[in-house]
Structure 1
Amino acid sequence: MTKHSFVKGAVILTMAGLSVRLMGAVFRVVLAMLISDEGVGLFQMAYPVYSTLLAISTAGIPIAISKLVAENLARDDYHGAYRIFRVALVILALFGLVISAVLFFGAGFFARTVGQDPRAALALAAISPAIFLVTVLSAYRGFFQGQQQMMPTALSQIAEQFGRVFVALLLVVVLLPRGLEQAAAGASFGAAAGALAGLLVLLLIWGKQKPSFMEGLRRQRKGNKAPFSTIIYQILTLSVPITLGSLVLPLITIVDLSIVPQRLHSAGFDTSRSTALYGQLTGMAGPLVHIPTIITVALAISLVPAISEAVALKRIRQIQDRSYLAVRMTLLLGLPAALGLYLLAEPITVLLFQNAEAGAALATMSLGVVFLTLFQTTSGILQGLGRPMEPVKSLIYGALVKTALTWNLTANAAFHIRGAALATVIGFGLAAVLNVYRVHILTGMPLYAVNTIVKPLAASGGMGAAVVFVYRRLENLHILIGPTKANALATLASIATGILVYVLILFIIGGIKRQDLEAIPRVGPKLAEIAKKLFLLRG
């Protein structure tokens, strides 16, 4: 694996992630228009429970599959790699089936005790089949990723999201006349339909690749003869710590679901209003804040085998270089994204959701973009180093702080839903700082503050000034074309201008280098040559 090849894998997954998030954004906008804040709140109440049970059923096994398959293939042991995949597939299928049944038959219980709104029971039952399908799907993704093939995962992600959005919106339209409960359930069932679509794509790809893979097995005389019990032990040893980490995030959302509406009641809001505010936070602001994580999730997936390879070969400098590059890329993305969301919070929520009030939650929560993306990237590094418990510890500390702050701030009428958003920012801030510290201690990764922090901050400052200038000028067009069109034009033009200004400033101050462009698959070298001819690259 070359120095930047893990970046190429991340770019492939990022492009798929962008497509997925674009479809998701359209889905959120249309869903909010169809079923209102309260309906979105009912729909969102199914996801914390679903995410937690999904984390239990997958149990970090896909990452373990990727790591173990990669290690076996590095030793040219195709028998061992295939054996690991088959054992893991059986484990995941069984876990997924059991957990799906638990959610389906316990939907009413979870709706009453966790969501504190019995109307969410149908949505929980409708989403339950998705757990089984996603667990099987994740086994195949881990197998392909262990072979350093990111394209199958990317294609399956696109198919999964398309199936989810299409079926969910279709069912919402059909079921809405029967009430919000059934409409929210229809939206939830889209997750199961999407998972089935993604699984079918992977099965088709595997069907085409299987003959050549099996031919490789036949040519190989010796392979991994470890018994199933040993393989299961290896998988669980790697996956259990990752499971704990993957459980923390959905558990945080369950805690929020349990205490945010309750504390909003304490702040003076009734049930309907509390559900609407919760919908603004989790169904509108939350998804927008998570858009930049498309790249960092892709980075983390690619980093695990890349760092593991360097560790196995005892290449300390390579570990440091790859870790530094990943952190630098994260801050190059996170800093401007956070500032942009902060400055355009209300215009964006008006544009996407016709809801100006949700802008307050987005503005507060946007500050956490830097911390959330940095936490994800450094978690991938730590998992690749064989230290999967480190991110878990960091996140637990952050979650404890967040929960305490959520309880106190949300009940304060001066903060209410913004208090929950601020608590999230502070919690992830602590987790990210702890992760970065552990990576630095374990790897000796250089920080190079000028390149990782100062230059992105300087470019972000220039970007912010340009965004504010353009928005204020174009917003005045409301006199001629009306407030809705003026806001849409001003927001989109501001975003486009901000991106352009940010990139140009980075080039001018040396924040983007030739090797950064060349790491982009296929078009990278051409982009580097174009930038060179335009005198945007130094040297």
Structure 2
Amino acid sequence: MSKKDSLIKGTIILTVAALVARFLGLFQRIPLVYLLGNEGMASYTIAFNLYSTLLIIATAGVPTALSKMISEKMAVGHYQDARKIYRASLWFAVIAGIVMAVMLYILAPFYAEDISRDPHAVLATQAIAPALLLFPLIAIMRGYFQGRQRMMPNGISQVVEQILRLVVGVLLAYLLLNVSLEWGIAGASLGGVAGGVAALAVMIYYTVKIREEDKEELPSIAVQRSDGSISYTKEAGLSDPGITLSYGSILRDLLSLSIPIVIFSMTVTLIYNIDSSTVIPFLTRFTDTPYQEAKELLGILGGQAQSLAGLPIVLAVALSQSIMPIISVAYSQGKMDVVANQTAKVLQLSIISGLPMVLLICTGSRPIDGFIFLFGGSEIGNQFAPSIIALMTASVMFQIIMQTSGAVLMGMGKMPELVQIVAIGIGTKMVSSIMLVKYLGIYGIIAGSALCFVIMSYLNLRVLHKEVKFRIMLKRRWVGLAFSTIIIVAVGMMLEIVTDTYLHLTPWVRFNYGLNAVIICGAVMALYPIMLVVTRVVTWNDVLSFPAPLQKLIHKAARILKRS
């Protein structure tokens, strides 16, 4: 298999696995919202977002750096150095995992009660702490396999992890609710630990398997025994005995590569954690919102909105991961025309591919949320959930631009600039949330996140323009895209009003919401490509420049349309 084919296959595997894992994560929230309600989901969100932030810190971006170092060593035949780097990374993961797990368990009461103002989140936070012992190891193993260009173990482990997280989390939540709501929330958190055990088992299986393959494939090494005889072994796999690495130098190289990566990579997770930590105290302190209502609003934000808003960005993340090595090679070789072309192409593709899902969720937020979550079963959910979901999903467009442009900057090695931009973005988030929550309530906190993504996107693009001259799209196409968006939003809103007012065909409320969602989403998805073609935002020449798998999909769709 050629390097190009390997890259495409690996990208497809990771993209499909990420999509499946994301949808499984969404499906987990459906029964949890039903079992725990919006208040219970608030406590679960506090625990899960804090855990997610500490997990990123615990792995410190090492998997990405490890993948790079392993691939470099394997490419030149330094197999033993690659194994030593892997072992050093595993020890780092063990120590970091222990430290973070103990820290999370001990600090859970202080964080939940004094910072997030939700005592019910204490047990849930402590319940998920053991997962921090497992996932740093899993992340390191995934980085190692990525460096070996073995993407299948990573994809399978992600899917298995989410399946066990869903099944065990929902089952324990259901069983422990008989004790109390607090124990039910803790049961949902324990699903993450079960998912970690399953994922680790998958990675250990593939680790044993790849070692057996290495014994068969790696070159034999001559070893002199104590009696003077010569034997041959494939265990070492060392092609250059003159190269040795100390554990200290390995860790220094790993951390120097990984720390800037983790600072940028944790931006979205950190913003979600800031929200889950501040929604209750901000709403109760700066507005007249009662405590119970503030807690329900946090449950809607974390249990429903964050899940749905995470869907449009999946393809953009996959594109970002695939473009980084291309940009890195072209930039290091001084091929600025290639950098400019690839930068414009990936930004254009991420915007065009992310926008339809954003429009779909925004215009259909009420029937979608009613069908999936039934608004959390409360009047507050019925009143606030659709607008919270729509506004949060709309802000994802700037998140897509921010993450895609940031990936290009990472490929160009602009880590110091990225770190500064992240600091500015987080500062903007905190200040704007405090200022806007006084006037807009929960919507002010969401607007603060959106403003953070806007500022970071602008700063990323400004740094990019200083390095290379590129244009995402012509002005005519921007106008066409804006016009298409306005038309689609107008049609979607009109259909939402009509279906919500008149279309109640059955006595089953959830079925009616599902039918309304299908009508609105179907209209948006059908109208989007038509409007792009009519306004010439996308031409046939653009299609020819898309990745091969996407071209095949478009060709098949075109043939079906011609036959119909």
Asked if residue 234 in structure 1 is aligned to residue 268 in structure 2, the reply is: no
Give, in whole Å, the separation in 2 of the partners of 1:457 and 1:7. Answer: 32
Q: Is contact 1:10–1:295 with CA below 8 Å preserved after alignment?
A: no
Change (3 A) 1:265 1:514: closer
Q: 1:7 to 1:430 in 2, by over 3 A?
A: farther
Matches within 5 A, 1:427-466: 427-449=452-474, 453-454=478-479, 456-466=481-491
Give the structure 2 partner of residue 478 of structure 1.
Answer: 503
Distance 2:5 2:345 in 1: 9
1:430 Cα deviation from its structure 2 partner: 0.7
Partners of 2:476 and 2:316 lie apart in 1 by 18
Shift, 1:193, TM fit = 0.9
- CA contact 2:116–2:281 (8 Å) conserved in 1: no
Who is 1:421 aligned against? 446
CA distance in 2, matches of 1:33, 1:283: 11
Query: Which of 364, 384, 397 lines up with 2:391 in the alignment?
Result: 364
Question: In the alignment, what sits opposite 1:378?
Answer: 405
Indicate yes or no: 2:517 matched with 1:491: yes
Correspondence list, 1:258-297, <5 A: 258-266=277-285, 267-297=287-317
Match of 1:310 in 2: 330
Q: 2:232 maps to which residue?
A: none
Match of 1:406 in 2: 433
Q: State the SS of the aligned residue for 2:66.
A: helix
Per-residue displacement from partner, 1:61-118 (whole Å, max 9, x unpaired)? 1111122223334444434333322221221122112211221233222222332222
TM-score (norm 1): 0.90
Pairing 1:333–2:353 present: yes
Cα pair 2:44 2:189 within 8 Å, conserved: yes
| Residues 442 and 206 of structure 1: CA distance in aligned 2, closer, same or farther (over 3 Å) | farther
Change (3 A) 1:392 1:436: same
Which residue pairs with 1:148 in the alignment? Answer: 149
Partner of residue 343, structure 1: 363
Which residue matches 2:47?
Answer: 46
Q: Check the 8 A contact 2:421/2:460 in 1, yes or no.
A: yes
Contact 2:60 2:259 in 1 (8 A): yes
User: Any idea what SS the aligned residue of 1:178 has?
Assistant: coil
Residue type of the partner of 1:225?
T
1:391 is matched with 418
CA distance in 2, matches of 1:48, 1:367: 21
Distance 1:77 1:253, change over 3 A: same
Asked if the contact 1:518/1:527 (under 8 Å) is kept, the reply is no
What does residue 234 of structure 2 align with?
Answer: none
8 Å CA contact 2:430, 2:448 repeated in 1:
yes
Gap change, CA 1:436 and 1:217, over 3 Å in 2: farther
Task: Indicate the SS of the match to 1:268.
Answer: coil
Q: Return the TM-score normalized by structure 2.
A: 0.86
* Partner amino acid, structure 1, of 2:275: D
Q: Aligned-residue CA RMSD in angstroms?
A: 2.8
Shift of 1:392: 2.6
Structure 1's 313 and 374: CA in aligned 2 closer, same or farther, altered over 3 A? same
Q: Rg: which structure is higher? A: 2
Give 5+ residue unaligned stretches, structure 2. Answer: 221-237, 376-381
Match runs of 1:45-64 below 5 Å: 45-64=46-65
Q: Give the secondary structure class of the aligned counterpart of 1:218.
A: coil
Matches for 1:184-199 after TM superposition, within 5 Å: 184-199=185-200
- Distance in 1 (CA, whole Å) between partners of 2:216 and 2:126 is 43
Instruction: Determine helix, strand or coil for the equivalent of 1:291.
Output: coil
SS in structure 2 opposite 1:480? coil
Summarize the Cα distance change of 1:44–1:215 in structure 2 as closer, same or farther, 3 Å threshold. same
Q: Is contact 1:114–1:254 with CA below 8 Å preserved after alignment?
A: no
Give the AA of the match of 2:263. Answer: L
Q: Please tell me whether the aligned partners of residues 61 and 239 of structure 1 are also in contact (alpha carbons under 8 angstroms).
A: yes
Cα displacement (A) at 1:364: 2.0
3-state SS of paired residue (2:219): helix
Q: Deviations over 1:419-465 (max 9, x none)?
A: 11111111111111111222232343443335974554454445435
Partners of 2:456 and 2:8 lie apart in 1 by 24
Give the Cα–Cα distance (whole angstroms) in 2 for the partners of residues 517 and 379 of structure 1.
21
Shift in Å, 1:341: 2.6
1:138 has 2:156 as partner: no
Contact 1:41 1:276 in 2 (8 A): yes
Letter in 1 for 2:337: R
For 1:135 and 1:401, locate their aligned partners in 2 and report how far apart those are by CA, in whole Å.
30
Q: Secondary structure at the match of 1:481?
A: coil
Deviations 1:376-401 (A, max 9, x none): 12222222222233333222212212
User: In structure 2, how many angstroms separate the alpha carbons of the residues matched to 1:5 and 1:217?
Assistant: 20
8 Å CA contact 1:10–1:302 kept in 2: the answer is: yes
TM alignment of 1:54-203, pairs within 5 A = 54-203=55-204
What's the counterpart of residue 222 of structure 1?
240
Q: How far, CA to CA, are the matches of 2:366 and 2:138 in structure 1?
A: 38
Tell me, yes or no, if the aligned pair for 1:327 and 1:377 is still in contact at 8 Å: yes
Q: Does the CA contact (< 8 Å) of 2:79 and 2:239 recur in 1? A: no
8 A Cα contact 1:61 1:235, kept in partner = yes
Partner of 1:501: 527
Q: Structure 1 residues 386, 441: CA separation in 2 closer, same or farther (over 3 Å shift)?
A: same
Mapped partners of 1:168, 1:529: distance in 2: 42
**Number of residues paired by the alignment?**
531
Amino acid at match of 1:374: I
Shift of 1:248: 4.5
Q: Following TM superposition, by how much is the alpha carbon of 1:120 offset from its aligned partner in structure 2, in angstroms? A: 1.2
Q: What is the rounded CA distance, in whole Å, between the counterparts of 1:387 and 1:190 in structure 2?
A: 38
- Check whether the contact 2:78–2:239 (CA below 8 A) recurs between aligned residues: no
1:517–1:527 contact (8 Å) kept in structure 2: no
The answer to whether the 8 A contact 1:32-1:353 is kept is: yes
Confirm or deny: 8 A CA contact 1:62 1:141 kept in the other structure: yes
1:314 Cα offset (Å)? 4.5
Q: Contact conserved, 2:271 with 2:449, CA < 8 A, in 1?
A: no
Once structures 1 and 2 are overlaid, which stretch shifts more, 245-254 or 88-97? 245-254
Segment drifting more, 180-189 vs 439-448: 439-448
Per-residue deviation at 1:280? Answer: 1.2
Could you report, residue by residue, the CA deviation over 1:252-283 in whole angstroms, capped at 9, with x for unpaired residues?
34433343212211311222211111111222
C-alpha distance in structure 1 between counterparts of 2:77 and 2:490, whole Å: 54
Confirm or deny: 8 A CA contact 1:328 1:452 kept in the other structure: no
Query: Is 1:257–2:276 an aligned residue pair?
Result: yes
Cα gap change, 1:67 to 1:388, in 2 (>3 Å): farther
DSSP-derived class of the 1:98 partner: helix
Deviates more, 1:303-312 or 1:232-241: 303-312
Distance change (3 Å), C-alpha of 1:489 and 1:140: same
Q: Counterparts of 2:461 and 2:149 in 1: how far apart (Å)?
A: 26
